[in-house]
């Protein structure tokens, strides 16, 4: 009993997502010819039925009827932008992409798969950006089925699969960039929309490739701070704008004061000592950097009195 217990080992569990669990399949063309050959064959079978009905071997009339029914069941009409995935007793045979009337393998079932370009908008997702601020973001995804066999047999529901993977990729990319970046060289969701959309398209394409789907285009359709921090972020943006404007004003004012002093020295209009220059610089900076218009005061005395 002890030896049996010691010799017994539990089977090793296969990890989820193992390569062996994937459906390795590729689209291939199915056997098909023009359906008008099938229509012609059905017409011949009908003519044979009439001939056999007036002959002495009437028992063979069932043969052309069976042939005509089988051929009629194997005719399929494929419209532009659609395909037919052909399966024969559970085995994938191929895909018919030729439009019009086609004659495919008899006794097979066909499933319609659209290859038209489709688009959808993701839900407004609330995620935390790279700075930890909650933001709301949504995208418009334009996609198309490229491999019909993978779309049907590699995943359970390729329509739902594309939607879920698109939102998953959107969450991941949104967390790697801040909503707004004060550094002009840095990437941000608001300032680098085209670059972020390109990253989204690449990541979505990698995620849905297993389902035989191609991503045509991805565009951000909604981007905003979450309502609970929108007012605070708005005040911060206004403060950043005020600081940037003040910096620009001060930079321009310093340049104007420097130019004024250089012009006075070049033209030798007046000789100013260091104390008078300091007073002149102070007055000019106050006038140039002030929000309110200057109110000049006439000084009739001396600077030193």
| Gap between the Cα atoms of 167 and 222, Å rounded | 13
Q: Which two tokens stand for residue 73?
A: 């069941």
8 Å CB contact between 98 and 65: no
* φ, ψ for residue 255, nearest 5 deg: -65, -40
> Helices (H) and strands (E) in the chain — how many of each?
8, 10
pLDDT at 8: 37
Q: Which residue blocks in 125-226 are alpha helix, DSSP H?
A: 148-153, 158-174, 193-208
pLDDT at 282: 74
**For residue 198, what are the contacts with CB-CB under 8 A and spacing of at least 6?**
218
User: Which string of DSSP letters, residue by residue, matches 4-23?
Assistant: HHHH--PPPPPPTT-GGGS-
CA dihedral (163, 164, 168, 174) in degrees, to 10, reads: 40
User: Which string of DSSP letters, residue by residue, matches 81-119?
Assistant: TEEEEEEETTEEEEEE---EEEEE-TT-EEEEEE-S-EE
**For residue 215, what are the contacts with CB-CB under 8 A and spacing of at least 6?**
141, 142, 143, 201, 204, 205, 208
Q: Which two tokens stand for residue 89?
A: 């007793």
pLDDT at 297: 62
* φ, ψ for residue 225, nearest 5 deg: -70, 150
pTM tops 0.85, yes or no: no
8 Å CB contact between 108 and 93: yes
pLDDT at 230: 59
pLDDT at 100: 92
Question: Which DSSP helix (H) or strand (E) runs through 66?
Answer: helix 62-73
**What string of pLDDT tens digits covers the 305 residues of the chain?**
444 444 434 444 444 444 555 667 889 999 988 889 989 998 988 888 888 777 767 667 788 888 889 999 999 999 999 999 999 998 999 999 999 999 999 989 999 999 999 999 999 999 988 888 889 999 999 999 999 999 999 999 999 999 999 999 999 999 999 888 765 567 888 888 899 999 999 999 999 999 999 999 999 999 988 877 656 667 766 777 777 777 777 777 788 777 777 777 777 666 766 777 777 777 676 666 766 666 666 555 555 55
Backbone dihedral region of 201: left (phi > 0), alpha (psi from -120 to 50 degrees) or beta?
Answer: alpha
Closest CA to 203 of 173, 237, 228: 173
**Residue position matching structure tokens 């000789």:** 271
């Amino acid at each position: 009993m002890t030896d049996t217990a010691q010799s017994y080992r539990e089977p090793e569990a296969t990890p989820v997502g193992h390569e062996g669990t994937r459906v390795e399949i590729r689209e291939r063309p199915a056997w098909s010819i023009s359906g008008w050959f099938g229509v012609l064959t059905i017409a011949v079978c009908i003519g044979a039925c009439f001939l056999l009905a007036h002959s002495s071997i009437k028992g063979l009339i069932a043969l052309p009827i069976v042939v005509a029914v089988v051929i009629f069941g194997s005719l399929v009409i494929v419209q532009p932008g659609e395909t037919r995935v052909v399966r024969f007793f559970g085995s994938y045979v191929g895909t018919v992409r030729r439009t019009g009337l086609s004659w495919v393998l008899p006794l097979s079932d066909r499933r319609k798969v659209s290859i038209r370009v489709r688009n959808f908008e993701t839900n407004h997702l609330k995620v935390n950006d790279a700075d930890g601020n909650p933001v709301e973001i949504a995208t418009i995804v334009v996609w198309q089925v490229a491999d019909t066999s993978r779309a049907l047999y590699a995943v359970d529901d390729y329509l739902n699969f594309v939607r879920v993977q698109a939102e998953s990729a959107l969450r991941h990319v949104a967390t790697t960039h801040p909503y707004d970046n004060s550094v002009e060289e840095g990437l941000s969701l608001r300032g680098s929309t085209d670059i972020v959309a390109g990253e989204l398209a690449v990541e979505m394409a990698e995620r849905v490739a297993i389902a035989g789907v191609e991503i045509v285009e991805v565009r951000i359709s909604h981007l905003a701070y979450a309502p609970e921090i929108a007012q605070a972020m708005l005040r911060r943006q206004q403060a950043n704008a005020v600081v940037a404007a003040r910096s620009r004003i001060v930079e321009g004012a310093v340049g104007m004061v420097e130019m004024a002093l250089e012009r006075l020295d070049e033209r030798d209009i007046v000789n100013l000592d260091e104390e008078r220059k300091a007073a002149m610089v102070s007055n000019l900076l106050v006038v140039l950097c002030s929000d309110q218009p200057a109110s000049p005061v006439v000084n009739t005395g001396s600077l030193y009195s």
